[in-house]
């Protein structure tokens, strides 16, 4: 008989000192749990520790809460910034889009065939363009136009924030959402808003990066998945990749060619986020990927 167990993940960071791993591992072993994966890294410049442990906690789902409560005192002792994920919990991901549909279509397809084991409570858009596609997948679509007039714009973002909050999301993906989030919105969902920028940052910040790339005559174009912060396209980078272009490629052809790299970079970045592989450290990320 296979006894019941809970597959959990602990992700944490704290000031470095002797005995952290021993304390945490002993705590986990004391609960009878088998550690199946572990990553630890110390940033020697700042003296910060980063950890990610996967483990099987014996018992029913009721054990999780008591594990969390008991661990809280360990965490306090080491001044940890921490979270515990249930590996089989379907995380909730809100998607924001404008008119380009390739990232949206990619994520919805991967979700539908079960490659992306998430729930998508809703899609929010400042346009009506992609409603049909989203309808086909049976997902609620919220149209929140974002006018240029400041007060109306603020109201639109408030409504956007309300819809996001209502969805209780683990991640908010700007899947080619062409509006700039105000500072307060970035803060509100800090380290949960993931953007895909269609260039190899820090090259070609801002609008029309493919046109900038074509203008500069680069031989590779790229895409960058990053957390959104107050500074446009300056947030902590999660993942990047590039693809080769030719002298004969116009900006339009680069756009077409870039879609694949945008999709793979965004989906890898989102997956790293959901799997607790990314820990933000200042304006950079620790990425545990093995």
Catalytic residue IDs: 233
CA-based nearest residue to 48, from 12, 85, 76: 12
Residue 193: CB minimum distance to a copy of itself, A: 17
Q: Does 26 bind a copy of itself (CB under 8 A)?
A: yes
242 binds a copy of itself (CB under 8 A): yes
Stretch that binds a copy of itself, among 5-13, 145-153, 155-163, 196-204 (CB under 8 A): 196-204
260 contributes a contact to a copy of itself by CB under 8 A? yes
Q: Which residue has the tokens 């592989």?
A: 277
Contact 218, 211 (CB under 8 A): no
Q: 251-274 and 209-216 are packed helices; what angle lies between their axes, rounded to 10 degrees?
A: 120
Nearer to a copy of itself, 162 or 256 (CB): 256
CA 196 – CA 233 distance, rounded (Å): 9
Q: How far is the CB of 184 from a copy of itself (least distance, A)?
A: 24
Q: Which window, 60-68, 76-84, 98-106, 119-127, contacts a copy of itself (CB under 8 A)? A: 98-106
**Interface with a copy of itself, residue 190, by CB under 8 A:** no
Q: Is 218 an interacting residue with respect to a copy of itself (CB under 8 A)?
A: yes
Q: What is the size of the binding site for a copy of itself (CB under 8 A)?
A: 70
Interface residue with a copy of itself, options 83, 162, 190, 284 (CB under 8 A) = 284
Confirm or reject binding of residue 61 to a copy of itself (CB under 8 A): no
Q: Which of 4, 15, 42, 166 binds a copy of itself (CB under 8 A)?
A: 42
What residues line the site for a copy of itself (CB under 8 A)?
Answer: 16-26, 28-30, 32-42, 44, 51, 101-102, 105, 109, 113, 115, 136, 200-204, 216-220, 222, 236-242, 246-248, 256, 259-260, 263-264, 267, 281, 283-290
């Amino acid at each position: 008989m296979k006894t019941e167990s809970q597959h959990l993940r602990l992700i944490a960071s704290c000031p470095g000192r002797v005995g952290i791993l021993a304390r945490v591992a002993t705590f986990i072993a004391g609960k009878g749990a088998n550690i199946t994966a572990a990553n630890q890294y110390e940033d020697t410049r700042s003296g910060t520790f980063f950890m990610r442990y996967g483990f099987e906690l014996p018992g029913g789902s009721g054990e999780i809460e008591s594990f969390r409560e008991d661990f809280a005192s360990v965490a306090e002792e080491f001044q940890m910034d921490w979270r515990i994920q249930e590996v089989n919990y379907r995380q909730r991901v809100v998607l924001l889009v404008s008119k380009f549909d390739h990232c949206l279509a990619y994520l919805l397809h991967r979700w539908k065939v079960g490659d992306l084991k998430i729930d998508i409570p809703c899609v929010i858009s400042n346009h009506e363009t992609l409603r049909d596609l989203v309808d086909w997948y049976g997902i609620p679509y919220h149209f929140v136009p974002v006018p240029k007039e400041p007060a109306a714009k603020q109201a639109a973002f408030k409504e956007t924030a309300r819809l996001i909050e209502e969805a209780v999301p683990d991640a908010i993906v700007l899947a080619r959402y062409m509006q700039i989030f105000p500072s307060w919105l970035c803060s509100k969902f800090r380290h949960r808003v993931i953007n895909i920028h269609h260039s190899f940052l820090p090259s070609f910040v801002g609008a029309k990066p493919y046109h900038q790339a074509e203008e500069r005559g680069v031989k590779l174009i790229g895409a960058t998945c990053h957390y959104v912060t107050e500074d446009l396209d300056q947030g902590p980078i999660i993942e990047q990749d590039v693809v080769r272009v030719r002298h004969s490629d116009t900006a339009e052809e680069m756009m077409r060619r870039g879609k694949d790299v945008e999709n793979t970079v965004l989906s890898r970045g989102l997956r790293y986020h959901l799997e607790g592989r990314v820990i933000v450290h200042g304006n950079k990320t620790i990425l545990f990927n093995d």
